[in-house]
């Protein structure tokens, strides 16, 4: 590995902070926005569902658009960083719009919150898509990317933890009398989310040679993604892993309430998973470096799948210390699932450039996030349909035996099957560390030749070091 590909420690920290706000805001919206619209604003669940559907449907459209625009951007600050500079504050302000309490009719409220949600999702995409696409631009090194992604996941997990604790400390309870407290929470969260993006803009630098790349066109960019075998297999790994996480997020509290019968200890149980995941990140950094990302993923999610199967045998009589041990073991697997799929994706960028003579980071990452949203819209509802089919009774103090079986199915076998699917994709993932290093060296030779040609033709900045 060449020295110039090693990132300073503080660069990794600064880049990682950017994901704190995305994770925190999205978790706050997922857990509190529907409750806010129902219990504070007074909308019915059906009307809230319409608002969420409208906002999330628009999100399917804007991801590829923003990804492609960032691929085509050429500026004094690079291709991705301008979006962070000019998008951070609007992103924060758009979050605040979601928590206003306008004095409107029911129809007016539906229109207002639908538009506010569309604006938020659009402006969030403007900053998070270029932010994600920065990963392969900051370093081409196989192992440095894993480290960089680990720092991002550290702040991602911290953002989720913050979202589960901070808002209700400020608000107290979601009742109409607390609208001012809701707004205070929103303003604080907006500042916490926007500030790290400005820090990322100030503390990172893109490689100047990428500015000499030809501006890609939309349709060829999409075709390049579907012709890129490492990207296709990496996307499969990510999709199935993410669907597993969605299933568990959707059903874990239900499992704690009805299978473990320990709802009062739900925060401690969930915290044990998240905190363990943070401390396990260095394990997967080490594994990816000493083996490779593919093998580390296979071992990590295999371990996680076994733990999930073990959870179906837990009963209310199981000692609490056993439950905590199992949760911490699950956290180790969650850590691997969080960092390794995201560390695998960037390596497909060099394969793309090697094959097409262009770089499509924005388009590739937009398709990954789009896949995540599709997986989110499938996995969560599918698991709830399993509960419905097995006789789950909403709000019941005690569930019938068939429903308890359904809960165990969505906590154990369903996640395990999804993870096995991810393992299958990983087994056939075609890009090794050695192949990636070889491709990177060939690309450096190409770029050096292109810079020399550009310098001879008098293109400004072409001869400057990257």
3-state SS assignment for residue 430: coil
Question: Measured between alpha carbons, how far is 9 from 131 in angstroms, rounded to an integer?
Answer: 18
Instruction: Classify residue 167 by its DSSP letter.
Output: H
Sorted by sequence, the CB contacts under 8 Å of residue 6 that are 6+ apart come out as: 139, 141, 144
Q: What is the mean pLDDT of the chain?
A: 90
Q: What CATH number has the domain spanning 1-212?
A: 1.20.1250.20
Q: What is the pLDDT of residue 338?
A: 92
Q: What is the pLDDT of residue 231?
A: 97
**Checking phi first, is residue 296 left (phi over 0); if not, alpha (psi -120 to 50) or beta?**
alpha
CA distances from 161 to 20, 165, 268, 271, 272 (A): 10, 7, 11, 8, 11
Q: Where in the chain is the domain with CATH 1.20.1250.20?
A: 1-212, 218-431
Q: What CATH number has the domain spanning 218-431?
A: 1.20.1250.20
> Lowest-confidence range among 57-61, 140-144, 227-231, 238-242?
57-61
Q: What is the pLDDT of residue 459?
A: 55
CB atoms within 10 A of CB 208: 15
Q: Could you report the per-residue pLDDT of 136-149, keeping only the tens digit for each? A: 999 989 999 999 99
Closest CA to 314 of 415, 242, 186, 407: 407
Average pLDDT score over residue span 21-38:
89
3-state SS assignment for residue 427: helix
3-state SS assignment for residue 166: helix
**Are 5 and 137 in contact, with CB atoms under 8 Å apart?**
no
Write the DSSP string, 170-214.
Answer: HH-S--GGGHHHHHHHHHHHHHHHHHHHHHHHHH----GGGGGSP
pLDDT surpassing 60 at residue 448? yes
Structure tokens at 423: 């393992």
Residue 344's pLDDT band (boundaries 50, 70, 90)? very high
**Are 348 and 234 in contact, with CB atoms under 8 Å apart?**
yes
Question: Measured between alpha carbons, how far is 179 from 404 in angstroms, rounded to an integer?
Answer: 38
pLDDT surpassing 80 at residue 465? no
CB atoms within 10 A of CB 39: 15
Q: Could you report the per-residue pLDDT of 369-397, keeping only the tens digit for each? A: 999 888 888 888 888 889 889 998 877 88
pLDDT surpassing 70 at residue 217? yes
Q: What is the pLDDT of residue 187?
A: 98
Instruction: Provide the H-helix boundaries in 256-346.
Output: 266-290, 293-311, 320-344
Count, residues in the chain: 466
Structure tokens at 446: 């190409």
CB atoms within 10 A of CB 109: 19
Average pLDDT score over residue span 116-129:
94
9-35 and 142-171 helices cross at what angle (nearest 10)? Answer: 40
Backbone phi, psi, residue 237, to 5°: -60, -50
Tokens 């793309």 found at: 352
Residue 56's pLDDT band (boundaries 50, 70, 90)? confident
CA 151 and chain centroid, separation? 13
pLDDT surpassing 70 at residue 191? yes
pLDDT surpassing 60 at residue 100? yes
Tokens 């299933």 found at: 247
């Amino acid at each position: 590995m060449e020295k110039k590909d090693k990132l300073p420690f503080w660069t990794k920290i600064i880049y990682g902070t950017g994901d704190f706000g995305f994770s925190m805001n999205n978790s706050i919206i997922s857990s509190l926005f529907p409750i806010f619209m129902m219990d504070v604003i007074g909308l019915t669940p059906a009307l809230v569902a319409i608002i969420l559907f409208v906002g999330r449907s628009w999100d399917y459209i804007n991801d590829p658009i923003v990804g492609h625009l960032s691929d085509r951007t050429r500026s004094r600050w690079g291709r991705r960083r301008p979006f962070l500079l000019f998008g951070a504050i609007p992103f924060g302000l758009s979050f605040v719009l979601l928590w206003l309490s306008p004095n409107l009719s029911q129809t007016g409220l539906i229109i207002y919150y639908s538009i506010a949600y569309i604006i938020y999702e659009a402006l969030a995409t403007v900053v998070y898509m270029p932010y994600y696409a920065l990963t392969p631009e900051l370093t081409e090194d196989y192992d440095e990317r894993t480290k960089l992604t680990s720092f991002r996941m550290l702040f991602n997990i911290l953002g989720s933890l913050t979202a589960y604790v901070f808002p209700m400390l400020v608000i107290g309870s979601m009742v109409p009398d607390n609208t001012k407290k809701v707004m205070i929470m929103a303003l604080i969260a907006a500042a916490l989310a926007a500030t790290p993006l400005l820090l990322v803009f100030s503390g990172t630098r893109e490689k100047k040679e990428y500015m000499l790349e030809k501006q890609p066109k939309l349709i060829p960019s999409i075709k390049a993604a579907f012709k890129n075998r490492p990207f296709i297999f990496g996307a499969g790994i990510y999709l199935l892993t993410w669907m597993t996480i969605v299933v568990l997020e959707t059903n874990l509290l239900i499992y704690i309430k009805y299978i473990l019968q320990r709802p009062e200890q739900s925060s401690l149980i969930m915290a044990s998973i998240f905190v363990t995941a943070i401390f396990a990140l260095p394990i997967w950094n080490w594994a990816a470096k000493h083996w490779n990302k593919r093998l580390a993923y296979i071992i990590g999610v295999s371990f996680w799948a076994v733990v999930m199967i073990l959870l179906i045998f837990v009963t209310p009589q199981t000692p609490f210390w056993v439950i905590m041990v199992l949760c911490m073991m699950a956290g180790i697997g969650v850590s691997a699932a969080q960092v390794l799929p995201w560390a695998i994706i960037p390596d497909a960028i060099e394969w793309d450039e090697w094959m097409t003579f262009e770089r499509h980071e924005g388009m590739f990452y937009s398709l990954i996030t789009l896949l995540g949203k599709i997986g989110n819209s499938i996995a969560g509802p599918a698991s709830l349909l399993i509960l419905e089919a097995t006789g789950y009774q909403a709000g019941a103090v005690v569930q019938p035996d068939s429903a308890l079986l359904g809960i165990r199915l969505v906590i154990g076998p369903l996640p395990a099957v999804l993870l096995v699917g991810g393992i299958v994709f990983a087994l056939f993932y075609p890009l090794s560390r050695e192949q990636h290093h070889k491709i990177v060296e060939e690309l450096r030779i190409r770029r050096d030749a292109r810079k020399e040609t550009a310098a001879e033709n008098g293109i400004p900045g072409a001869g400057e070091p990257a």
